[in-house]
Structure 1
Amino acid sequence: MTIHDGGWVIDPKINSHIHPMTSEQHNIFTHAFEGFCGAGYEPIAYLGKQVVSGMNHRYVALQTLAQPGEKKSAIVTVTLYVPLEGRAVITSIETI
């Protein structure tokens, strides 16, 4: 499979049924959210990647907001940017 700069590559596994994430995909997500405050995020599925100056990765995740006396959850898409050198950075979180 050829990946061109700027184009998203959807994980072909998602088309038939959801497979568990690879440990690398899970680790990218986990490391990006280390020390993140305000909400909890749990990855549900890996959607695909995009080659840029580095790599973008897109996930579906469960977002949990804890407020005094209540808990709110939502399903979100999360896009992470992994530079050529350095750690993953959260670039977007969007409610589905």
Structure 2
Amino acid sequence: MGESMNMQWHHLLLGPGDISAGKATAIQDAFTALFRSAGGPRTMALFRKDAQDGGLDLYFTPESTLHAWRLIEECKATPCAPPSLAGLELLVGHNEITYYLTT
């Protein structure tokens, strides 16, 4: 897998069933642990956005693939274009990450 392949956003859609099964919380907890063990990289973050059917969209920043690749693979998140910032909520990461996303 080439370097450019790795450095992109990843998206995961969780349905209402996944959420009630605690999947979102489990992913967030696992991501938080990886974020801490990586030393809290400036541009590593996990975002959420409410999906239309009561589900949840999760977005992993490109930097996340360097430190959380196994997690991203395990939960079968797929590469995607950068999400629009509207309705995006930071779950794990530094608050100033949104500054880097808009520059």
Pick the structure with greater CA Rg.
Answer: 1
TM-score (norm 2): 0.29
TM-score (norm 1): 0.30
Specify which structure has the higher proportion of helix: 2
| Structure with higher RCO (Cα < 8 A, 6+ apart) | 2
Specify which structure has the higher proportion of strand: 1
